[in-house]
Each structure stands twice: as structure tokens, then as C-alpha cells.
Amino acid sequence: MNLGGSELIIILIIVLVLFGGAKLPKLACSLGQAQKEFKDGMNDGSDSTEEPSAE
């Protein structure tokens, strides 16, 4: 799915209307935290699938 400039503007306008200008920074912050936690979880999951080295 490839979004162009006009599609992104339309999506941003819809989000602005739904959530209002005051709530957008809080929404963006929570989305960023969720993305960070997801990436950390993916990294932790890939580490646990590796076999431990024999020392």
C-alpha cells in the first residue's frame, strides 16, 4: 500500500477532526511508546530463540 501526499493530507484532516488539536500530541506520544514497546518485544523474542552458547 503506497500512500501519496494527497492521501496523507486527507488522513491527517480526518484524524484532526476526530481527536481535536489538543489531543494529537498525547495520541502521537502513546503511539510512539507502543511502537517502541513492540520493537523491544520483537528484539527480546528473537534473542530467546537463539541457542545458548556452550561455554
Residues contacting residue 3 through CB under 8 Å, at least 6 positions apart: 11
Note the pLDDT of residue 43.
87
Note the pLDDT of residue 28.
86
Round to the nearest angstrom and report the end-to-end CA distance of the chain.
47
Q: What is the DSSP secondary structure assignment for residue 54, as one 8-state letter? A: P
What is the amino acid identity at position 13? I
User: What pLDDT, in 10s, does the model give residues 22-33?
Assistant: 888 888 899 899
Instruction: Judge whether residue 49 has pLDDT over 70.
Output: no
Q: In this structure, are residues 15 and 24 in contact, taking their beta carbons and an 8 Å threshold? A: yes
Q: How sure is the predictor about 53, in pLDDT bands with cuts at 50, 70 and 90? A: low
Q: In this structure, are residues 27 and 19 in contact, taking their beta carbons and an 8 Å threshold? A: yes
Note the pLDDT of residue 21.
81
Q: How sure is the predictor about 46, in pLDDT bands with cuts at 50, 70 and 90? A: low
